[in-house]
Chains A and B, each alone.
Chain A
Amino acid sequence: MKHPRDPAAPGRAAALLLAMVILWPLGVIGEFRPWTLFEAQNLRVMGGFLAAFLPPASGGEFLVYLGRATLETLAIATAGIALAFLLAVPLAMASTQALSVSRLGPGAGRRRGEWLRAVLRVVLVVLRGLPELVWALLFVRVFGLGPAAGVLALGLTYGGMLAKVYAEILESGDNRPARALLEAGASRLQALCYGLLPGAAQELTSYTVYRWECAVRASVVMGFVGAGGLGQLMDQSMRMLNGSEAATILLTFLLLVLAADALSGLLRRQLGEADGRAGALAFGRRTLLWLLLLGSALLGSYLWLELGLAALLSRSALTSMADYFGAFFPLDLSPGWLAAVGWGALETVAISALGTLLAAAAGLLLALPASGRYGQAFEQLTRFLLNALRSVPELVWATLMALAAGLGPFAGILALALHTSGVLGRLFAEALQNAPPRPRDALLEAGTPSGIAFLYGTLPEVSPQLIAYSLYRWEMNIRMAAILGFVGAGGLGQLLYVKLSLFQYAQASTVIAAMLLLSVAVDAGSAWLRRWLASPGG
């Protein structure tokens, strides 16, 4: 019998070879050395640390700290999202083209309106271009210790993100009612409330809820820079190599993230149902109940955190803030420092690219059982594994990997790979489940081995989606890679952390500028890549 062969094998091999050639320098920059994982000494340290995981810490005093930190984490996320919402609504209203009066036709304010929107878009890019952890690191210094810095950091970054997405959601819907209202002389607020919101409210709310879920994950790690919550506890336990405390905290992470997931899923399903029933804003008893719940959660968060925002806005606080941010200018642009920052940026890109690639490979492998191809038991098991992988934030993985692989960029690669394979695995599994089964079934019936049937029957159906997901995560991972250095995992973060510790703010601001540039470049690059892939020639 002739051995079944993959006819596209030479092409695939060539592509693989090309990829290796491109990836090789990235591997060198990222210090990609998997064998260090198996060095006897590293195995011993990691083994000793993991052995201390059992039993997880359950001392009374520690549990009290843990409970408090968990509540603080939730409160930071909730208050942060509330602040983000307050910021995002006016920003989105001013920057969306759906409410543009000047686009209606040539008028007195046309040029000014365009300028204003352009400026606002730049503001939004700066707000969301810097990772929330960098904002938190900066705010911890000015606004003092504790959760206020975390709330403000979340508020600014997520405010930028929400504003952008709100604006896009408003633009993507049917704009004719709003336009008609504006043309008839309605104010923007009227046009928003009566022309746009009825069509977009569900999507807006759903996205806000999803962002809250992300904020919970983000506020978990805020503590790594001293901004309160669970991260602060985790940071200390990891530094002291206290395995049993780390184990309890990791379990808490897992529970918290799964609970936030479930709650957000529930809320969004309810919204979906409401959408199906009434079409427009369903303002029934249930909505009222949710609003009440939301109100009390917000109030509770503010009271629990004792934010004292009024004190932040006092004259002395404002002067010290101005002093502090003034110290960041002018940027240090000396050639030596620029070279160091450039190298850090390269390392960051290498970390993110390799981490995402590993994650895409591992995610695909895990997605096969998770999509139910090998039975129920395997499906449940891998789904749990994927949830566990993604519920541990990248930064926490990085602290763990710094033990397993040593400090440096390789730990960052592993950290990104672990977290992202959890995320991508879940998305890939969904894509595989939704793939039309017929091409594969036809191949199988014709006697094709199942491996080849997968390559030719299923993969072509899902690969554009898989690639799009991976690219999107890569974009996010570049931002993430920039901050993994806070815990010693290489890249720009390490430079920023050291320079801020030494109060060398001029150098620190060069690093921040580099992060911002990287983020903007990635935004533009991935938008271009997606367009290219979507175009028929790509």
Chain B
Amino acid sequence: MLHLSRRLALKSALLCALASPFFNTSVAADAVLRVSAIPDEAPTELQRKFAPLGKYLEKELAMKVSFVPVSDYAAVVEALASDKLDLAWLGGFTFVQANIRTKGTAMPLVQREEDARFTSKFITADANIKALADTKGKVFAFGSPSSTSGHLMPRYFLLQDGIDADRDFKNVAFSGAHDATVAFVASGKADAGVLNASVWEKLVDQKKVDAKVRVIATTPPYFDYNWTVRGDLDPALIKKIEAAFLKLDAGNPEHAEILALQRATKFIPTKKENYAGIEQAAKAAGLLK
């Protein structure tokens, strides 16, 4: 038996030796800033939006910047926690989750001016639904389960209005993304739904909303999206990243393009305390234990 296990060990050593050329070693991460974003829009769209910002950051930081597309909100959080990303565009709730997963080291740097007073819109296409209370017993659509403006905050405000999403709706659907929620409501797949005000306004501007779909309520404002870095990144680099974002100025035509793509008027500094309210809301709504 002993003889056998030595043989096995030898064999596996041989296998490893044979396989080692394939375990490529191209992971020299220091010279590259790895950036990602929660997928609230299509990856092609995210990459298009990121391209000019990436070039700008490359110039300002004098290092290579690569964008890693992702299709799952939570994957961004885990990647940040396991040092596979350096900088990420997070929602308020994903930031709270990242803060917990990284044991408090994740650091929010900047947010858009708009993110300090973000809201969500409750929508319906059903003529009989006139107020939030009428959505009881109906099919209701949220966006992604990890979304702040598409799930957490609306759920929290519904709860404060006496509507428990788990108990009072006939069925809860997760559409996955904000624009998908509009499609669900327009088709009657869901009787009512909720999405972030920014995407709602964009869709209305682009005339992509069915005429029957209308807003029945808007949430009170709360803090949302920010750019977060992992805590063990070089402090000098963190400073440079923050400065690069704050320097963006709508008066400069080159910067204006970047800001327009990010749907921002300008970036402002942010801090962890801004998201304490979200964490409480998440606990109250039962999404954080």
Measured CB to CB, the residues of A under 8 A from B are: 39, 41-42, 44-45, 61-62, 65, 86, 90, 108-109, 112, 140-142, 144-146, 187-189, 223-226, 232-233, 235-237, 239-242, 298-299, 302-303, 306-311, 313, 316-317, 320, 324, 402-403, 406-408, 488, 497-498, 500-504
Partner of A307, one of B24, B81, B84, B187: B24
B177:A240 contact, CB within 8 angstroms: yes
A501:B74 contact, CB within 8 angstroms: yes
Partner of B84, one of A61, A65, A144, A306: A144
B83:A308 contact, CB within 8 angstroms: no
B188:A145 contact, CB within 8 angstroms: no
The main secondary structure of chain A at its interface with chain B is: helix
Q: B206 near A: Cβ within 8 Å? A: no
A-B contact pairs, 11 of them (CB 8 A): A42-B188, A108-B1, A141-B74, A189-B11, A226-B75, A239-B42, A303-B24, A309-B24, A403-B189, A407-B171, A497-B174
Decide yes or no: A232 and B188 within 8 Å by CB, A86-B15, A299-B22 being known contacts.
Answer: no
The 6 A-B pairs with the shortest beta carbon distances in the complex, nearest first, are A45-B187, A41-B188, A501-B145, A141-B78, A144-B84, A226-B72
State which residues 87-104 of B face A: CB under 8 Å.
97, 100-101
Please name all residues of chain B whose beta carbon is closer than 8 Å to the beta carbon of A298 when the two chains form the complex.
Answer: 22
A236:B71 contact, CB within 8 angstroms: yes
Please name all residues of chain B whose beta carbon is closer than 8 Å to the beta carbon of A498 when the two chains form the complex.
Answer: 145, 174
Please name all residues of chain A whose beta carbon is closer than 8 Å to the beta carbon of B39 when the two chains form the complex.
Answer: 236
A109 to B4, CA, bound (A): 12
Extra contacts besides A145-B70, A239-B42 (11): CB < 8 Å: A144-B79, A145-B75, A223-B71, A232-B43, A236-B39, A236-B42, A239-B180, A311-B27, A313-B23, A403-B187, A502-B145
A308:B1 contact, CB within 8 angstroms: no
B73:A501 contact, CB within 8 angstroms: yes
Partner of B1, one of A45, A112, A407: A112
A308:B26 contact, CB within 8 angstroms: yes
A500 to B174, CA, bound (A): 14
Q: B25 near A: Cβ within 8 Å? A: yes
Q: Mark B16-32, 1 if CB is under 8 A from A, else 0.
A: 00010011111100000
A504 to B97, CA, bound (A): 11
A323 to B169, CA, bound (A): 36
A397 to B100, CA, bound (A): 37
A324 to B42, CA, bound (A): 28
Of listed B72, B145, B171, residue having the most chain A CB within 10 A: B72
Partner of A61, one of B26, B44, B81, B173: B44
A501 to B39, CA, bound (A): 13
Decide yes or no: A140 and B23 within 8 Å by CB, A61-B44, A503-B101 being known contacts.
Answer: no
B187:A501 contact, CB within 8 angstroms: no
Q: B239 near A: Cβ within 8 Å? A: no
| Chain A min CB distance to B145 (Å) | 4
B70:A189 contact, CB within 8 angstroms: no
Please name all residues of chain B whose beta carbon is closer than 8 Å to the beta carbon of A112 when the two chains form the complex.
Answer: 1
Q: B186 near A: Cβ within 8 Å? A: yes
Please name all residues of chain A whose beta carbon is closer than 8 Å to the beta carbon of B177 when the two chains form the complex.
Answer: 239-240
Q: B146 near A: Cβ within 8 Å? A: yes
Please name all residues of chain B whose beta carbon is closer than 8 Å to the beta carbon of A233 when the two chains form the complex.
Answer: 43
Q: B289 near A: Cβ within 8 Å? A: yes
Question: Which residue in chain A gives the minimum CB-CB distance to B186?
Answer: A45
Partner of B83, one of A223, A316, A488: A316
